[in-house]
A and B are shown apart, each in its own frame.
Chain A
Amino acid sequence: MKTIVLDAKNLTKLYNHTKVVDSINLQIEEGEIFGFLGPNGAGKTTTILMALGLTEPTSGEINVFGYNSTREPLKVKKITSYLPENVGYYEDLTAQENLKYITRLNGIPGKKADAKIEEVLKNVGLQDVAQVEVGKYSKGMKQRLGMAAVLVKEPKLAILDEPTTGIDPKGVEEILELIVKMSREQNITVLLSSHLLYQVQKICTKIGIISQGRIVAQGTIEEIGKSLLKEEKEDLLEVKVANKLTPALEESIKQIEGVMGVEKKSPDHSLEEIYIKYFREG
């Protein structure tokens, strides 16, 4: 039995008598990369803010590592890193100074902090621009600085709210790699809120889907897929042919026992594949 990192029980939040979050029950186990999915305004950010104790729930409770987020927010925030949506930094300070401020707020002693800052800046690939003012950073660099800020306080839980919005595919790829890396190497549990399904599918071990304040599905993608889409899908096999597909060949494949049908497809390349290949290697 793994430890439960984040545990929400009947969590409800009302804004002006509308239920933004409606009796949510949510469990995240240690080491998971949990994808928190849902359309804009479904209540993802509100749930996250309640987890950090930045907003008080109307009823129900939420615990992080056994600490109640509403009553012991400092203990929760000590071990939890939060990367907000539209994160911003002090633009007239350098990346190094911004991170220094965060380590100070966390009470990390000076020497240890300096070493840690250097390490995380290297991890996110910003070591060469550490002394440049953040105002001169591109959006992708800022987001990577955000990841550095998440890592610098050595959290046990990282809550990332839309970490990949507004950055280019290469940047997205790098951020996702970082998330997987920190989850594997430092055993940080990750709560990733997003509405970009492709990315979530790529890295998340479990997902929870929220819609209009309610959790409508929770579990691994396979589990949810099975229960939701009910009927078992038939297996698909891709066969590559040497030259052109002749009618005779097609016919002979059809003859094989158990084959339901043959379909011809033109080879398709996704734009993303091309883009990433171009900028990675070129």
Chain B
Amino acid sequence: MSGLKVVFWKELADYLGSRKFLILFTIILVSAISIVYILSQNIGEYLSEISKEYVFLNFFTISLGALPSFIFFVSFFGPLIGIIFGFDAINSERSKGTMSTVLSQPIYRDALINGKFLAGLATISIMLISIILIILGLELGVLGIVPNLEEISRIIVFFIASVIYIGFWMSMGILFSIIFRQTTTSALVSLMMWIFFAFFILMISNVIADQVTPLNQNSTLEMIAKNENIKSMIMHISPVVLFQEITIALLNPSARVFGISALIKANDLLPTPLPLSQSLMVIWPQFVGLLALMLICFAVSYIVFMRQEIRAT
């Protein structure tokens, strides 16, 4: 255990002091501050759009013209952050020759990978907590109202979901850093996976769904529903889609269904907000799915790493 602790603290210090961390942190911070600033300057114009019960949550979800919302930033930059922390975790140690030095010390081999993984998660958590706190602080100062308990608990769950989401991308990066000896290869493959899950999965799910149940003008509602179902099944492989649905349900308390049924039933539903427990029920499968993806990625990296030969040459 002591080996794990030593690796953890060393990696944490490395991450927090690294240039890549500072750059990413600055980007997200600037975008978050600008969103809060613009929104608070023009709050009058958006009064019709924002929900009166949960004023605070609006700052995370509303997009203002050209400026995207904060959750968009997290779902878009989150993978990049995760990948940047993970893609060179193991293969850079290997190519620099530091790995055999570390592993010849009296520690178990898994202390290295566990320490790196936990330090990465801790860094992501620190980054997200500080940004969320900054946003909340700015809102408090600008609006002069206090978030209620419901809002605070929703933000906490949102934070946990974001850590798992970014953690998935990090463990995927770590996996590629174990499989590929070159850091450039692992970086490129990680980015390809991100582009695939964020963009291509949409097209692919469309193509497959249309192959299985071709739609035309005479298609029945059942056919359309079946087509939509196939589409959403494929889309739900993507952690990006899972995370987007989780954030929508968490930060927009009136959301209760997704996919085609959301369109069909939208008019029949009361627009009253759900309590947190009910929102959690709505997105529980997505939540578990996201967590499972992260854990599977890490478990595979763990096994591959433990079975790999140490020698660099």
Contacts and interface: CB of A to CB of B under 8 A. Distances in A.
Given A74-B108, A101-B6, A105-B6, A88 B103 contact: no
Contact of B10 (A49, A84, A101): A101
A87 B104 contact: no
A251 B303 CA distance: 79
A102 B98 CA distance: 11
A78 B310 CA distance: 18
B100 interface: yes
B105 A77 contact: yes
Contact of B107 (A55, A92, A105): A105
B100 A91 contact: no
Contacts of B101: 82, 84, 87-89, 102, 149
A90 B98 contact: yes
Contact of B106 (A77, A89, A92, A149): A77
Given A55-B309, A55-B310, A86-B312, A107 B104 contact: no
Interface string A76-104: 01101110111111111000000001101
B277 interface: no
Name the residue among A46, A78, A106 with the largest chain B CB count within 10 angstroms.
A106
A68 interface: no
Contacts of A262: none
A249 interface: no
Name the residue among A74, A81, A91 with the largest chain B CB count within 10 angstroms.
A74
B102 interface: yes
Contact of B104 (A82, A91, A92): A82
B2 interface: yes
A107 B2 contact: yes
Contact of A54 (B10, B98, B100): B100
Contacts of A80: 104
A91 B101 CA distance: 14
B104 A54 contact: yes
User: What is the size category of the interface that chain B forms with chain A?
Assistant: 20 to 34
Contacts of A105: 3, 6-7, 102, 105-107
B96 interface: yes
B305 to A, nearest CB: 13
Interface in B69-105: 96-98, 100-105
B52 interface: no
A188 interface: no
Contact of A52 (B10, B104, B309, B313): B104
Contacts of B310: 49, 54-55
A52 B262 CA distance: 61
B282 to A, nearest CB: 46
B98 A74 contact: no
B97 A84 contact: yes
B96 A91 contact: yes
Contacts of A45: 311, 313
Given A45-B311, A86-B312, A78 B100 contact: no
A106 B97 contact: no
Nearest to A84: B100
Nearest to B96: A88
A220 B2 CA distance: 42
B101 to A, nearest CB: 6
Contact of B6 (A54, A92, A104, A153): A104
Contacts of A102: 101, 105
Contacts of A85: 313
A3 B310 CA distance: 30
A194 B204 CA distance: 56
A87 B106 contact: no
A84 B106 CA distance: 15
A134 to B, nearest CB: 10
A101 B102 CA distance: 9
Interface in B272-313: 309-313
Nearest to A41: B313
A89 B97 CA distance: 7
Contacts of A90: 14, 96, 98
Given A55-B309, A105-B3, A107-B2, A78 B97 contact: no
Contacts of B309: 55
Interface string A150-184: 00010000000000000000000000000000000
17 contacts: A52-B104, A54-B310, A74-B106, A75-B106, A77-B106, A80-B104, A86-B97, A86-B313, A87-B101, A88-B98, A89-B96, A90-B98, A91-B96, A105-B6, A105-B107, A106-B106, A107-B106
Closest 7 CB pairs of A and B: A88-B97, A82-B104, A105-B105, A88-B96, A84-B100, A77-B106, A78-B106
Given A46-B311, A74-B107, 19 more contacts: A54-B104, A54-B310, A55-B310, A55-B311, A74-B108, A75-B106, A77-B105, A78-B106, A80-B104, A81-B104, A84-B97, A84-B100, A84-B104, A89-B98, A90-B96, A102-B105, A104-B6, A105-B102, A105-B107
Interface of A: 45-46, 49, 52, 54-55, 74-75, 77-78, 80-82, 84-92, 101-102, 104-107, 149, 153
